[in-house]
A and B are shown apart, each in its own frame.
Chain A
Amino acid sequence: MTDTVVVDVEAEVDIAAGGRRDAIIEIAVIYGLGVIVALLVNAALLAALGANPVTAYGTIVSSALGSVGGLAQTLNRMTPLLLGATAVAFAMRAGYVNLGVDGQIYAGAILATGVAFLLDGWPAWLLLPVVLLAGVVGGGLLASIPAWLRATRGVNELFVTVMLNFVALFLAEYLATGPWTDPVAGEAITVPIPDAANLPVMLPGGGHAGILLAVPIAVAASWWLLRTRRGFEFRAVGANSLAARFGGVRLVRIGVIALVVAGALGGLAGSIEVTGVHSRLLTGLTPNFGYMAVLIAVLARRSPVATIPVAFAFAVLIVGADSLQRSVNLPASAVLVFQAVVVVTILAFETPRGRRWVSRLLPGSGRSATDGSPGGPSAAGRGPGGPGPGGDDVGGHATGRGAGTQPAGEGA
């Protein structure tokens, strides 16, 4: 157990010991290689399906970015991904795993929809903030269950958050087919929320203002982690929870903050989906945003601010895949495989063995720090262990799940 932890630490130390600039170059190379490999694999897949990969890639980019309407769709998609990824990355920094973003989105959406119905008639300037806040509260409430169980009973939050995804989904389904159902629609959706509760449209083509909330929140989360005392305690728990305890950090409090804040961010994503995209509660609200959020957080190396570009890239892919399905009649999943391949490739390069391989590609001699990785020969099996689970490890496992549950297609 001790050994695996040591290996992990040494892998991380290697990066830093090589000098900050070298480390950045190495990371850039690893990510570049990951994208190239994913592009090639996906091209092969597209070709096998009878499509011209170049045309297909062109369609993806032009549909997602080539028009104002496309960009609006991309930003709409990016918003829940970014909030969800921030939620996951934030909790991971303290060593907690939040796999419950999907459930938190539903919980936020349920409370937001309920409050919107309840306060019908309030003016927009008051109603909208209250509805969004209701989403925050909903997600936070749902996440307080794993937080409480972890704090008082030591129950692993990973299982509880996953299980609650089902609870929240079924509750949403019950409301959308029962008390709040739209009898005309004939499917699991509720009647629309009042107009005054809808997010203002920012871009033609339905681009709502949610992104203006999501981006500052991601930036603020990173700032809080790096520049505040509590944020330092947070990271200390993630880095070595036992040492943090000796340093006077209150683990229970940090755990509760980590999970409840993460839940609140997921809940906000839910209320934004309701007020910005659908104007109602429905069961297809999140096509596995939660699992994609885990992938994004891992790729962003647990840094909330770094989830911004990664979430954007994922959003481009999703929107592009959608339009590929419509225009070329290719299954969207053929493109979404890309996400999984990119993550797996980058994680493979990030193992000590992969790093050594990468370092050989790089020119210059300043790369020897990696050669000396004492964990090298035995480091293939990285596993979770030690007092505080290393975020990277956990991410690695979560990725496995995420990759296996890629959305098959995108509705609406």
Chain B
Amino acid sequence: MPDEAGRQPQDATSRTGTAALAVQMTGISKAFGPVQALDDVDFRVAPGEVHGLLGENGAGKTTLMNVLTGLYLADAGSVSLHGEAVELRQPADAVSQGVGMVHQHFELVQAFTALENILLGAETATWSMNTAAHRARITELATQYGFNVRLDHAVAAMEIGDQQKVEILRILYAGSNILVLDEPTTHLTPTEVDQLFSSVRELAAEGLAVVLIAHKLHEVFAVCDRITVLRHGRLAGSLDVAAADRGEVVAMMMGEDVAVPEVRPKACEISDEVVLSLDGAGGRGGPTDVVLVDLDLRVHRGEFVGIAGVAGNGQRELMELLAGLRSIQQGRMHAGGQDVTAARVDERIMAGVAVLPGDRMREGVLPASPLYETYALGRHLLQDGFAPALLEEQAREMITHFDVRTSGPTAPTASLSGGNIQKVLVARALAVSDHADGGAMVVMNPTSGLDVGAAAFVHTQLVATCEAGGGVLLISEDLDELLMLCDRIVVLAHGRFVGEQVADGYDRLALGDMMVAAND
């Protein structure tokens, strides 16, 4: 039953005590086959606390939260919620105990309205739905925490940020008092991040326990009270944010002995030769797609060009347009000296347009197929004939060269971690670009969800591509990444290029203004 009982302001001062801990996980261990994902991990969250859970990819953050939400059964250890020992054998047990998790992929019915989604699961009457009463209470809840969403709009038509609000409302309305957010800022704009964090603070002020699985340190420092760091499935430490030092936290995440890899600045001249260009290009796709209008763009040999913008302003459409998945209805596109305006995807690959899509798992890999087949996709067009043995051998070389962590070229692609999968996809794009002797790399959000080490690898490879005579177009929602790497940043808003800055004169605020100015 949705009620406010579990959300009564609790004794927020008891944060340091152990009597009323909202979450107390002790000695949690979990192994998947030979891999020890969690090893004797303790985790404590007090009511009214925002708790950051940090660690590199594969450190065990998600596994630990999956134990808390009843998705996995721990091999060893115990869980207490609000001081009572509980046994969470399945997700329904955790939900009934007030634990709610917002996953990176929301569990919303796309065709339903926000209201219908929120009622789903909360509604207990069998035959009738007293929507009006629910609506009033949901509206109250939404207003209280600043989740302003239009309840009667279909979720499918909502921006990611709004969908996330619906998801959080749904979980709150189902009566959760322990809220787990799995990397909630990944797809949000800076403004949305601020909104989310202020809502999170509101929730904590009401006595809820909030766990934030996070990657970005500055976000953790902005919103969390305490943090717990995991490394290789073990507890690396737990500390108050007020008393924490960034360097110390990084050291806890990476291990003392590991230096954070730095991306070397690009050391090459930008040539006059254009590897990729758009002249007044545009096109209209499906009804919910952003219409691209009058895009002019030049990427030269050795040049690193960035496309900045708030998510949902045509980034995906631009990537698809360049890849050849979306037709160019106005204007022209050239690559490698050829007019590829009407060229298909395969013809563009052969012209040296190498695309690293934004959604690795959906757009990049053959999940259940052996790794060498995922590595071969797209590259298969550039080779004479088709020889599985040769492809396997090439994959083996790639694995060694790029230090991909896998059991071998025949391992199923989905068995690799996100960072290693991205290494394979980068290697694949590099091969396409190299084949054209310095082609054009089109890269979208290449480091989203990657840990520091894997992100540095990707950045280094992109820089090397420029140095080898290629051109890189980086479409990214991460402004820091763009500022660090690009010679030139073009701002995309509402499907148009609305402004541009070059490396010497970067002004973060001005860029931010351009990104949102067209976006009122």
Interface residues, chain A, with chain B CB atoms under 8 Å away: 1-3, 9-10, 12-13, 16-17, 226-229, 231-233, 235-236, 239-240, 242-250, 368-369, 371-372, 374, 377-378, 387
Contact = CB atoms under 8 A, between A and B. Distances in A.
Nearest to A375: B71
B363 A246 contact: yes
A242 B366 contact: no
B33 A9 contact: no
A243 B364 contact: yes
Closest 6 CB pairs of A and B: A372-B32, A248-B346, A247-B377, A229-B386, A247-B378, A239-B366
A60 to B, nearest CB: 37
Nearest to A366: B33
Contact of A226 (B66, B388, B411): B388
Given A13-B415, A243-B363, A250-B344, A235 B388 contact: no
Given A245-B325, A368-B32, A369-B32, 18 more contacts: A1-B110, A2-B362, A12-B368, A13-B414, A17-B33, A227-B386, A232-B376, A243-B364, A243-B374, A246-B323, A246-B325, A246-B363, A247-B349, A247-B377, A248-B344, A368-B34, A372-B31, A374-B72
A242 B349 contact: no
A240 B378 CA distance: 13
A302 to B, nearest CB: 12
A230 B114 CA distance: 44
A382 to B, nearest CB: 14
Contacts of B348: 248
Contacts of B385: 229
B368 A246 contact: no
A9 B388 contact: no
A202 to B, nearest CB: 35
Contact of B345 (A2, A13, A245, A368): A245
B280 interface: no
Contacts, number: 117
Nearest to A367: B33
A233 B345 CA distance: 13
11 contacts: A1-B110, A12-B367, A13-B414, A16-B368, A235-B366, A235-B373, A239-B373, A245-B345, A246-B345, A247-B378, A248-B345
A242 B363 contact: yes
B72 A10 contact: no
Contacts of A3: 105, 107
B490 interface: no
B6 interface: no
B90 A248 contact: no
Contacts of B357: 246
Contacts of A377: 70-71, 90-91
A90 B106 CA distance: 35
Best-buried of A2, A242, A247, A374 by chain B (most CB within 10 Å): A247
Given A226-B388, A229-B385, A368-B33, A246 B367 contact: no
Interface string B57-97: 00000000010001110000000000000000011000000
B102 to A, nearest CB: 14
A13 B346 contact: no
A245 B414 CA distance: 19
A17 B412 contact: yes
A232 B33 CA distance: 31
A24 to B, nearest CB: 14
Interface in B88-134: 90-91, 105, 107, 110
Contacts of A378: 71, 91
Interface string B334-355: 0000000000111011000001
B386 A244 contact: no
Given A240-B366, A246-B345, A374-B71, A12 B388 contact: no
B380 interface: yes
A161 B346 CA distance: 30
A248 B381 contact: yes
A235 to B, nearest CB: 7
Contacts of B72: 374
B89 to A, nearest CB: 9
B365 interface: yes
Interface in B381-413: 381, 385-386, 388, 411-412
Nearest to A1: B110
A17 B376 contact: no
Contacts of B376: 232
A213 to B, nearest CB: 26
Given A3-B107, A227-B386, A374-B72, A17 B345 contact: no
B198 interface: no
Nearest to A390: B368
A246 B349 CA distance: 9
Nearest to B110: A1
A244 B90 CA distance: 36
Contacts of A369: 32-33
A242 B373 CA distance: 15
B417 to A, nearest CB: 13
B363 A228 contact: no
A250 to B, nearest CB: 7
A393 to B, nearest CB: 13
B369 interface: yes
A9 B421 CA distance: 15
Given A245-B325, A248-B345, A368-B32, A13 B366 contact: no
A233 B414 contact: no
Contact of B414 (A9, A229, A248, A387): A9
Contacts of A2: 105, 362
Nearest to B378: A247
Contact of A239 (B32, B107, B367, B378): B367
A13 B370 CA distance: 10
A9 B367 contact: yes
Given A13-B414, A226-B388, A368-B32, A249 B368 contact: no
B53 to A, nearest CB: 18
Given A2-B105, A13-B367, A368-B34, A242 B412 contact: no
Best-buried of A227, A228, A372 by chain B (most CB within 10 Å): A372
Contacts of B367: 9, 12-13, 239-240
A405 to B, nearest CB: 30
Contacts of A229: 380, 385-386
A371 to B, nearest CB: 8
A245 to B, nearest CB: 6
Best-buried of B71, B346, B367, B378 by chain A (most CB within 10 Å): B367
B445 to A, nearest CB: 15
Contact of B364 (A226, A233, A246, A372): A246
Contacts of A371: 32-33
Contact of B362 (A13, A226, A242): A242
